[in-house]
Amino acid sequence: MFTRTAFFEGHILEGMEEAFFVAVESHLLPIWRRLPHAQKVRLFWPVTCDEDTPAVFLIQQIDYPSLAAIEEAMASPVREEARLAHQSIMSMYEGRHYHLVCRRQEADC
């Protein structure tokens, strides 16, 4: 399994927090769930962090069965729809977002 993780680094503009959360959960999340081969979508809203770490205000993860599945999802019309929907939230935050793709391995405690 592979997980594509998006990090939103920076900060949500003051007074836009609620509108940002609503837009992500009601507009973007349904699109992300429709990406081809997406198996699970997770959102994380950080509440604390170590000193000297980048200010990350949202982490989004999508699980896929293979790297080929990710490539297909990224080339799909749904991905373009997600990009357009993302433009609607960009005015609500300052910063950047970037992605990492990781091979996922469960480690039981």
Question: Which CATH code for domain 10-103?
Answer: 3.30.70.100
- Return the pLDDT at 106: 78
**Per-residue DSSP letters for 3-65?**
EEEEEEEEEEPTT-HHHHHHHIIIIIHHHHHTSTT--EEEEE------TT---EEEEEEEEES
- Return the pLDDT at 107: 80
* 24 C-beta neighbours (distance < 10 Å), count: 20
Query: 29-64, pLDDT tens digit by residue?
Result: 999 999 999 999 999 999 998 999 999 999 999 999
Q: Where exactly are the structural domains of the chain?
A: 10-103
- Return the pLDDT at 104: 81
What is the distance between the alpha carbons of residues 63 and 7, in angstroms, rounded to a whole number? 15
Query: 57-108, pLDDT tens digit by residue?
Result: 999 999 999 999 999 999 999 999 999 999 999 999 999 999 999 998 878 7
